[in-house]
Amino acid sequence: MSAAVTERTAKERVRRTRSRGRNELAPLRVSQIAVHEYDLDPACVSLVCPSCRTWVPISRPNGRPGRTRLVPHHTERAGTADPTFCTDGSHRRVIIDVEVERWRRHIEEGVSETDGRRSNRVTRKPKVAPALAVSQIAAKKQTATTEDEPGDDRPLWLLREMKWASTEPAVRETDTQRAQRPAGDAPQVGLPVPLTTLHPKRPTR
């Protein structure tokens, strides 16, 4: 009985990037960075890149010296079309020379100090009366009152007619006196004043 012969094929080897990702800039010391610009929480150890001012994770934070570096990153937000690669900050070495407990203590002291500066008193806004509608403003103008008569919700046109009715006799009497011819001789200079209404007519052609 002949044994089955199986052909062996070589697997394709996984290609690795040959670039070592070296950065010749001086390593970043965490102790020389402001407390609010780095995060030593074990869930996400990161800091603000001094070149592009973006938060960048730190690779191998607990690794041996020389292997703790900033991961390669871009200067724009995620999802930006044609992002720019940060050449000065990528692969830069980081020296973590601050204890996690000391960093956490600084953060807690800063939070307590900030809370102490805030006032717990609630400042309420002053209540403002709602604005009147256009129809309400028009009605208010029509029912306006005068200084002589108190307001009794009577329309303005009615108040004006009542005032005219009370002063009409005196006005009529004054007009009649002005229309009368004064006593004495007529003036010698100037044209005579006509006593009747003139109705001029067009000349006939």
3-class DSSP assignment, residue 200:
coil
SS (H, E, C) 3-20: CCCCCCCCCCCCCCCCCC
Check whether 56 has a pLDDT greater than 80. yes
Q: What are phi and psi of 151, to 5 degrees?
A: -75, 130
Q: What are phi and psi of 59, to 5 degrees?
A: -85, 140
In the chain, the percentage of residues whose pLDDT exceeds 70 is: 73
Confidence class for position 139, pLDDT limits 50, 70, 90 = low
Which of 80-84, 141-145, 178-182: highest mean pLDDT? 80-84
Check whether 123 has a pLDDT greater than 80. no
Distance linking the first and last C-alpha atoms of the chain: 150
Which residue carries 């001086």 as its tokens?
26
- The residue among 205 and 151 whose pLDDT is bigger is 205
- Are 92 and 46 in contact by the 8 Å Cβ rule? The answer is no
- Are 68 and 57 in contact by the 8 Å Cβ rule? The answer is no
Distance (Å, rounded) from C-alpha 37 to C-alpha 106? 12
Check whether 144 has a pLDDT greater than 60. no
CA dihedral 145, 150, 152, 157 (to 10 degrees): -40
**24-44 tens-digit pLDDT:** 889 999 999 988 889 998 888
Long-range contacts at 34-37 (CB < 8 A, ≥ 24 apart): 35/103, 35/106, 35/107, 35/110, 36/110
**63-88 tens-digit pLDDT:** 777 788 999 988 887 778 888 888 88
pLDDT (mean) for 157-168: 83
- The residue among 174 and 182 whose pLDDT is bigger is 174
What is the b/e burial string over 104-128, where b = at least 16 CB atoms within 10 angstroms of the residue's CB?
eeeeeeeeeeeeeeeeeeeeeeeee
Confidence class for position 19, pLDDT limits 50, 70, 90 = low
pTM of the model: 0.45
